Amino acid sequence: MPRRPPPSRRRAPRQERAQATCDAILTATARVLLKDGYEAASTNRIAQEAGVSVGSLYQYFPSKEGLVTALMEQHRARGLADFEAGLVPLASQPLPVAMRALIRQVIMVKRENPRLHQVLHELMPRMRQWGLSDIYSQRLFRLVRAFLAPRFEELRPRNLDMAVFVLVNAVEALCHTAVTDRPDYLEDESFVEEVAALALGYLRPEPATAAPRRTARERVVRM
């Protein structure tokens, strides 16, 4: 029982001019969102910024909600496509190599336009409230799952779904939080190393507790 089709578009632009208008509006939305945040971003303001009239805005987008949703979708679709494109050549790489590359890519993407990423990120709860299922998260999840599945036997975790949940969310959160709280980390190669260490340390089988016998106490402490 689907609630309603994603109300992000009202009608497809037929003429070339219309497509341009449509794009201008979306771009302006991003700009205004950046400058003023969601609340302060009025549709009139956005239209003005786009150099069109409010009427035109509502010709292509059914509501402010829909407009923002459309922007979000565009953004996430691109992000996901990039991610997938980056993932393909890494399929055959050793895990550590691939992991570092992926993390680096995630950071690069966010570094491109940190404010936009941040703003859209903060918009996500609202989207959920609007009843939009987050198909992009699901696709990302499936992508990572497919990437991990072939090597899962050699890794420590036994619950693939949970492992993907842990990895995806931890990495995403770290990269995102860095944008906001520690932008310097984004430029710091050792940050990539640490995030990779987190991911790889999570997946790596625990060390066969070797030779010299230890008391339980020692074993626990030493880790």
Partner DNA sequence: TATGAATGAGTGTTCATTCAT
Partner DNA sequence: TATGAATGAACACTCATTCAT
- Using CB distances below 5 to 8 A depending on partner kind, what does residue 11 bind out of a second copy, DNA, none? DNA
Q: Which of 26, 52, 72, 119 binds DNA (CB under 7 A)?
A: 52
19-27: list long-range contacts, CB under 8 Å, 24+ apart. 21/50, 21/52, 21/56, 21/60, 22/60, 24/50, 24/51, 24/52, 25/50, 25/52, 25/56, 25/57, 25/60, 25/61, 25/67, 26/67, 26/70, 26/71, 26/74
Find the shortest distance in angstroms from Cβ 70 to DNA.
12
CB within 8 Å of 110: residues ≥ 6 apart: 117, 175, 176, 179, 186
**Contact residues: a second copy, CB under 8 A:** 37, 39, 94-97, 100, 118, 122, 125, 128-129, 137, 154, 156-157, 159, 162-163, 165-166, 169-170, 172-174, 177-178, 180-182, 185, 190-191, 193-195, 197-198, 200-204, 207, 217, 220-223
Output the six-digit token pair for 114: 């940190």
- Using CB distances below 5 to 8 A depending on partner kind, what does residue 88 bind out of DNA, a second copy, none? none
Find the shortest distance in angstroms from Cβ 17 to DNA.
4
Q: Which is nearer to a second copy, 32 or 163 (CB)?
A: 163
CB within 8 Å of 44: residues ≥ 6 apart: 54
- Using CB distances below 5 to 8 A depending on partner kind, what does residue 162 bind out of DNA, a second copy, none? a second copy
Find the shortest distance in angstroms from Cβ 43 to DNA.
4
How far is 58 from 66, CA to CA, in rounded Å? 10
How far is 220 from 2, CA to CA, in rounded Å? 50
Q: Which of 1, 4, 14, 223 binds DNA (CB under 7 A)?
A: 14
- Using CB distances below 5 to 8 A depending on partner kind, what does residue 166 bind out of a second copy, DNA, none? a second copy
